[in-house]
């Protein structure tokens, strides 16, 4: 895969030119919809800044395109980029402003007034239904409007790996419309993911968590025969336990996936990939931060005093120790998904143990997925404790599934 780089663009010269940058500003917010919203995790904003600042420092007029949430093709206050842009402006010395619309008169006026070294963020691109349209002509029309904001000598930089799996106007069609380049985030993400999929140093250990096994099935299928060991925690572990014939009480269970999981366990055994499931779990009376809870064996969840009403909310300490030992013995580790409900302190120990093992490990380690990345920050770990914290989200998973990603395909040119 041959993609032109940001360094190539900078070498060509960007002084006075409009450079359109697709960034990932899709950050979590808190606050009432009719009140002031604030960013609760600015990791993606900080990750997006280096490319924006490089271009601004080189004298470019930077137009940033981004989305937040999943609006239905119309402006919605709760999905405005305003709080994200306000936080972005606090994190940099560069002049950053927000246009009042996506590509209309407000964006046109603001873009025309932009000076060298300044940054203008367009309003949430998903406020325009053409951004996500299935119709090629509609998406191309919006991409043409974006390109027109930059004039004759504009260029496009895709720095949002988390969106490259989408065939959207600001990702795919704009890359086809303007001379296009990969941003540093996209370049780094590609290098990391290729290292995970092309002859990883062994032992190669994958740690999978999160709520739904259905979200990870394609990744699991592609990792069988490639990973040496797959450690399973989080809500998805209960479908695995059920596939082994164990009762899981009121824990999260995808009953329709039991047969598939059972099939994968058999395939893994034949391919030499070992699945490690929890030996103990923390079971709670209810899903609440202050819920009464007990430690039980993973194959005897209903033996707790809560019986069939008990809900598994974290892996137990014996499992956490075992998982940590596997991580510390590995040469390559990929972690996607928390081990429990880490947002509740009483059920964060398993996730913290995995994060600590990764931080202590000398292996090439990758933390993938928004929840995992949020977890390490929430639990107080320094980001530089890990080999790489992915900003790719679903796109990274699709890459690991072996799928083609439209945004990357569009960046390829002669």
User: Residue positions in the annotated binding site for substrate?
Assistant: 24-26, 44, 67-70, 126, 166
Which of these is catalytic: 183, 249, 340, 370?
A: 370
**Strand pairing partners for 180?**
156
How far apart CA 42 and CA 183 sit, in angstroms, is 19
Residue 186: name the closest of 404, 60, 5 by CA.
5
Contacts of 268 (CB under 8 A, 6+ apart): 224, 225, 230, 274, 275
How far apart CA 164 and CA 411 sit, in angstroms, is 10
Are the CB atoms for 249 and 312 separated by under 8 Å? Answer: yes
Instruction: Count Cβ neighbours within 10 Å for each residue of 293-326 and write b for 16 or more, e otherwise.
Output: beebebbebbebebeeebbbbbbbeebbebbbeb
Residues within the annotated binding site? 24-26, 44, 67-70, 126, 166, 216, 312, 343, 369-372
Contacts of 62 (CB under 8 A, 6+ apart): 18, 19, 21, 52, 55, 56, 118, 119, 120
Residue 244: name the closest of 282, 299, 295, 296 by CA.
299
Residues within the annotated binding site for ATP? 216, 312, 343, 369-372
Report CA 192 to chain centroid distance, whole Å.
Answer: 14
Which of these is catalytic: 46, 176, 195, 212?
A: 212
Contacts of 137 (CB under 8 A, 6+ apart): none
Kindly state the DSSP code that residue 412 receives in the 8-state scheme: B
Instruction: Return the structure tokens found at 214.
Output: 């259905």
- Burial zone of 267 (CB within 10 Å; 0-12 exposed, 13-18 middle, 19+ buried): middle
Backbone angles phi, psi at 245, to 5 degrees: 95, 10
139 is known as an active-site residue: no
310 is known as an active-site residue: no
Whose structure tokens read 């890359």?
A: 175
Which of these is catalytic: 44, 82, 87, 130?
A: 44
Instruction: Return the structure tokens found at 7.
Output: 């360094």
- Burial zone of 129 (CB within 10 Å; 0-12 exposed, 13-18 middle, 19+ buried): middle
DSSP H helices, 203-316, are 217-223, 237-243, 258-271
233 is known as an active-site residue: no
195 is known as an active-site residue: no
Catalytically active residues are 44, 212, 370, 394
């Amino acid at each position: 895969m041959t993609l032109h780089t940001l360094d190539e663009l900078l070498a060509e010269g960007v002084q006075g030119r409009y450079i359109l940058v697709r960034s990932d500003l899709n950050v979590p917010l808190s606050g009432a919809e009719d009140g002031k919203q604030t960013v609760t995790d600015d990791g993606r904003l900080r990750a997006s800044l280096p490319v924006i600042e490089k271009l601004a420092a080189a004298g470019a007029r930077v137009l940033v395109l981004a989305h937040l949430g999943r609006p239905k093709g119309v402006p919605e206050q709760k999905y405005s980029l305003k709080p994200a842009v306000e936080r972005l402006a606090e994190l940099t010395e560069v002049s950053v402003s927000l246009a009042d619309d996506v590509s209309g008169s407000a964006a046109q006026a603001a873009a025309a007034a932009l000076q060298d070294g300044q940054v203008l963020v367009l309003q949430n691109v998903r406020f325009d239904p053409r951004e996500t349209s299935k119709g090629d002509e509609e998406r191309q029309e919006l991409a043409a409007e974006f390109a027109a904001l930059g004039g004759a000598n504009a260029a496009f930089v895709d720095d949002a790996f988390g969106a490259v799996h989408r065939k959207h106007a600001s990702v795919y069609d704009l890359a086809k419309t303007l001379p296009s380049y990969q941003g540093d985030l996209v370049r780094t993400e590609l290098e990391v993911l290729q290292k995970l999929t092309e002859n990883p140093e062994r032992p190669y250990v994958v740690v999978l968590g999160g709520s739904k096994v259905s979200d990870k099935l394609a990744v699991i299928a592609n990792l069988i025969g490639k990973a040496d060991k797959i450690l399973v925690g989080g809500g998805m572990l209960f479908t695995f336990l059920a596939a082994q014939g164990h009762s899981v009480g009121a824990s999260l269970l995808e009953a329709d996936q039991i047969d598939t999981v059972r099939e994968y366990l058999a395939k893994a055994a034949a391919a030499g990939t070992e699945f490690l499931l929890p030996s103990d779990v923390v079971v709670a009376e209810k899903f609440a931060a202050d819920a009464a809870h007990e430690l039980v064996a993973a194959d005897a969840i209903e033996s707790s005093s809560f019986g069939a009403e008990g809900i598994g909310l974290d892996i137990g300490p014996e499992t956490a120790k075992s998982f940590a030992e596997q991580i510390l013995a590995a040469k390559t580790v990929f972690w996607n998904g928390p081990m429990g409900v880490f947002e509740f302190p009483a059920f964060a120990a398993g996730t913290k143990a995995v994060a600590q093992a990764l931080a202590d490990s000398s292996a090439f380690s990758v933390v993938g997925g928004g929840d995992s990345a949020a977890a390490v920050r929430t639990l107080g770990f320094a980001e530089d404790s890990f080999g790489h914290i992915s900003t790719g989200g679903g796109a990274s998973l699709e890459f690991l599934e072996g799928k083609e990603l439209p945004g990357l395909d569009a960046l390829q040119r002669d």
